[in-house]
Amino acid sequence: MLAYTYLKQGQFALCEKPKPQLKDNRDALVRVTLGSICTSDLHIKHGSVPRAVPGITVGHEMVGIVEEVGPNVVSVKPGDRVTVNVETFCGNCFFCRHGYVNNCEDPNGGWALGCRIDGGQAEYVRVPYADQGLNRIPDKVTDEQALFVGDILATGFWAARISEIKPEDTVLIIGAGPTGICTLLCVMLKHPRQIIVCEKSEERIRFVQEHYPEVLVVEPENCQSFVSQQSDHGGADVVIEVAGSDDSFTLAWKCARPNAIVTVVALYDRPQILPLPDMYGKNLTFKTGGVDGCDCAEILNLIAEGKIDTTPLITHRFPLREIEEAYRIFENRQDGVIKVAIKG
């Protein structure tokens, strides 16, 4: 089968590999019908994910059809259309029982697919702990509607949930890339008083203004003063940092009012500095870490009810055999790209 493979730092290639086989009674084999490219895949390519294993098939955003299940799998069966969770989790350890599935104690727990074990930019993918990692797609939800459920939409849902957003809040979201837009959609479900998006790309600013006209948009250089003017207490009540740029982490805490919540979703290419003397007295609460993707069933129901729609994010579509061209466009942000769908 064709599989897009991490060869070494800076190099991916489309390779021929054997079709995966079940290794455990709790595994499932999924035929990938639609996948996507995530910025995290680029982080692997450029060496920003040290635990990524050379030789693995990359890709962790996918949907497909179950082809085979192990004897202990009970929640899905061959023929089911499913989303695939970016997180691998056992469901039984301390962290899983408390909903912190990103920290599953299994050796392959957390982000494994497309990082430490073979992922889904391929014709087939083996999914460990299939009862936890797969969710059946409702009949009236298309593959494109469900494509981002297991990763960036779960990330946005998690970020909105842990940010403790209240109806009277002003919420600042830094970054209007794919994860930023998914976060925006999930924040909108909380109905805060005001949402501000900070973005520097003219194309992405236009995208937000076109699709979400009720949201205020500001560029980074004007963000701190704009947020202060729009807020009742000198800054945002909640800041969600999704950009992951050199300056966005600093911007996040500077735009927060005293005693605000700052939720850090972004993955950075280099360490960030927490200048505690400069922050003294702001009494900020920081929430950090990877997605705890345990809300996929709820997200699928919200999509089926018409309350979340991520399909406008898909701007380009390619077959798997042309994935290198898809990567070139996505990595270089060409042709107005936001997300690319890869058809298996």
Assess contact for 104 and 90: CB atoms under 8 A: yes
Q: Where are the beta strands (DSSP E) in 70-140?
A: 81-84, 87-88, 110-111, 124-127, 134-136
pLDDT of residue 99: 85
pLDDT of residue 122: 98
220-230 and 248-255 helices, crossing angle to 10°: 10
> How do residues 122-150 score in pLDDT, each as one tens digit?
999 999 999 999 999 999 999 999 999 99
pLDDT of residue 291: 75
SS3 92: coil
The answer to whether the predicted template modeling score (pTM) of the entire model surpasses 0.85 is yes
Residue 334: alpha-carbon gap to chain centroid: 21
CA distance 66 to 214: 40
Q: Give backbone dihedrals phi and psi of 238, rounded to 5 degrees, phi first.
A: -135, 130
pLDDT of residue 270: 81
Domain with CATH 3.40.50.720 in the chain: 154-288
| Ranges under pLDDT 70 in the chain | 290
Domain with CATH 3.90.180.10 in the chain: 2-151+292-343
pLDDT of residue 227: 98
pLDDT of residue 55: 97
> How do residues 22-53 score in pLDDT, each as one tens digit?
999 999 999 999 999 998 899 899 988 889 99
pLDDT of residue 268: 82
292: amino acid identity, one letter = D
Task: Based on DSSP, count helices (H) and strands (E) in the chain, helices before strands.
Answer: 12, 17
Domain 2-151+292-343 has CATH 3.40.50.300: no
Domain 154-288 has CATH 3.30.300.30: no
Residue 75: alpha-carbon gap to chain centroid: 24
